[in-house]
């Protein structure tokens, strides 16, 4: 027994030494040094160039590192709608950061308070333009009026995901959050190296993060079952017509997801990256403009559809008919749609992930949907991303 314990101790010491060695090596190869290796000049001598010193620090508030890699983007559940818009393709995504949770009501209230204060001090951004549309809850044939009145206002819903926010408002939040976080750094040090910008994730980043390196799985967790080992559902979703919470059985916790609408942003188990509710609760905005053939058309490194228009010219096509057909799927330089498809407009943005009001099909990370950038819904929210600078890990 003593010998076994000694072996374990030695193994721990060896591994610790290896990790320390790796760390010191990384620090060494990333260190600029006191003088230029190419000219021999000392940095900062007289009027000579002085590089900014940088030391690795923790991720910006709210974020977790998603180490980049290669994965099969698209696919998943059977294409029951026959859209053919998520064909599998191998791509690579650079390392980045992503919010651990969806943006909550209390996060948005903080944002509105800051904007209102800024407006009172002469700021130009209008507070009212950023208020979430609570009418997204109202229905002509359903009594959701109490939800519309209380969901964003009442503190009981502080930690629930904000909804009724359109794509443009989500981007405004990202810009405000960047300023707020970096201003705190500048208050401590006027020469501080600032964090990169918060932003919406691309749909490739979102899918890669949602899969949690389980690229062959249907959902954002291991296995084909919608339930965990204790029998409770892994996500907040709609089982079928009229079934938003599941049948109550026993103590009411093990046979249901327990929530008729949204759930708190840290409810249910996180995936292997530590991200909560990448499947279910609310679907989430991404940066991308929607196109049916986007997954086939975009590049295979950091794929992203910025806008509909591409560099393809009309004379590249064999005839006018094929050009117009391709144009309706890829881009539209004219504001008048060529085809009756919604994807003829550049303001149609991709959103990912299922929601409390969606069936299980939409829980698959590969499933794509689209919505007008200036519209909002009761089942649509967002989370922020940020590029990883320096070492990918």
Each residue's pLDDT tens digit, 79-88: 777 778 888 8
pLDDT at res. 364:
92
| Contact by Cβ (8 Å): 353, 280 | yes
As a whole number, the mean pLDDT across the chain is: 82
CA distance 238 to 243: 6
Say if residue 187 is exposed, middle or buried (CB neighbours under 10 Å; 0-12, 13-18, 19+). Answer: exposed
| Contact by Cβ (8 Å): 251, 329 | no
Name the most confidently modeled range: 81-90, 221-230, 296-305: 296-305
CA distance 393 to 391: 5
DSSP state for residue 155 in the 8-state scheme: G
pLDDT at res. 274:
95
What are the angstrom distances between the C-alpha of 153 and each of 146, 157, 375?
Answer: 11, 8, 21
Question: Average pLDDT in the 277-283 region?
Answer: 95
Using the predicted structure, report yes or no on whether residue 345 has a pLDDT greater than 80: no
Using the predicted structure, report yes or no on whether residue 325 has a pLDDT greater than 50: no
38-47, 237-246, 382-391: least confidently modelled range: 38-47
Q: In terms of pLDDT, which residue wins out, 299 or 252?
A: 299
State the Rg of the chain over Cα: 24
Residue with token string 């759930």: 263
pLDDT at res. 140:
94
pLDDT at res. 122:
65
Using the predicted structure, report yes or no on whether residue 328 has a pLDDT greater than 50: no
DSSP string across 51-86:
PPP----PPPTTEEEE--EEEEES--S--TT-----
Cite the DSSP H helix spans in the chain.
Answer: 2-29, 105-120, 145-150, 167-188, 203-211, 294-297, 320-330
- Summarize pLDDT for 3-20 with one digit per residue, the tens: 555 555 555 555 555 555
CA distance 80 to 280: 19
Residue ranges matching CATH 3.90.1580.10 in the chain? 63-130+156-306+351-387
What are the angstrom distances between the C-alpha of 142 and each of 236, 243, 367, 378?
Answer: 21, 15, 28, 14
Provide the token pair at 330: 């890829």
35-44, 107-116, 194-203, 249-258: least confidently modelled range: 249-258
**Count helices and strands in the chain by DSSP H and E runs:** 7, 9
Q: Is 3.90.1580.10 the CATH classification of the domain at 63-130+156-306+351-387?
A: yes
């Amino acid at each position: 027994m003593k010998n076994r314990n000694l072996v374990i101790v030695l193994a721990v010491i060896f591994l610790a030494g290896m990790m320390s060695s790796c760390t010191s090596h990384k620090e060494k190869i990333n260190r600029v040094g006191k003088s230029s290796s190419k000219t021999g000049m000392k940095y900062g001598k007289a009027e000579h160039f002085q590089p900014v010193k940088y030391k690795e620090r923790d991720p910006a508030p709210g974020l977790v590192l998603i180490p980049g890699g290669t994965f099969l983007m698209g696919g998943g559940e059977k294409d029951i709608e026959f859209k053919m818009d998520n064909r599998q393709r191998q791509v690579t995504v650079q390392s980045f950061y992503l919010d651990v949770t969806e943006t909550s009501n209390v996060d948005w209230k903080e944002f509105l308070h800051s904007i209102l204060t800024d407006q009172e001090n002469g700021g130009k951004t209008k507070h009212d333009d950023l208020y979430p549309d609570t009418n997204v809850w109202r229905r002509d044939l359903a009594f959701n009026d109490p939800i519309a009145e209380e969901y964003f206002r009442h503190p009981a819903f502080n930690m629930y995901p904000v909804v009724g926010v359109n794509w443009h408002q989500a981007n405004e939040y990202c810009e405000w959050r960047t300023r707020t976080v970096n201003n705190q750094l500048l208050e401590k040090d006027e020469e501080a190296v600032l964090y990169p910008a918060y932003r919406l994730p691309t749909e490739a980043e979102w899918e890669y993060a949602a899969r949690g390196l389980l690229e062959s799985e249907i959902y954002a967790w291991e296995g084909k079952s919608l339930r965990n080992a204790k029998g409770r559902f892994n996500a907040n979703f709609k089982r079928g017509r009229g079934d938003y919470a599941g049948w109550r059985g026993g103590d009411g916790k093990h046979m249901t997801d327990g929530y008729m609408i949204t759930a708190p942003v840290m409810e249910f188990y996180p995936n292997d990256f530590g991200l909560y509710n990448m499947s279910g609760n609310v679907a989430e905005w991404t940066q991308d403009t929607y196109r049916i053939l986007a997954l086939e058309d975009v590049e295979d490194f950091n794929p992203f559809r910025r806008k509909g228009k591409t560099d393809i010219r009309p004379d590249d096509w064999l005839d006018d008919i094929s050009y117009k057909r391709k144009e309706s799927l890829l881009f539209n330089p004219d504001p008048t749609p060529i085809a009756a498809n919604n994807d003829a407009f550049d303001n149609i943005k991709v959103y990912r992930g299922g929601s409390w009001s969606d069936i299980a099909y939409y829980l698959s990370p590969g499933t794509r949907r689209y919505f007008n950038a200036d519209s909002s819904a009761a089942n649509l929210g967002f989370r922020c991303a940020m590029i990883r600078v320096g070492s990918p890990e």
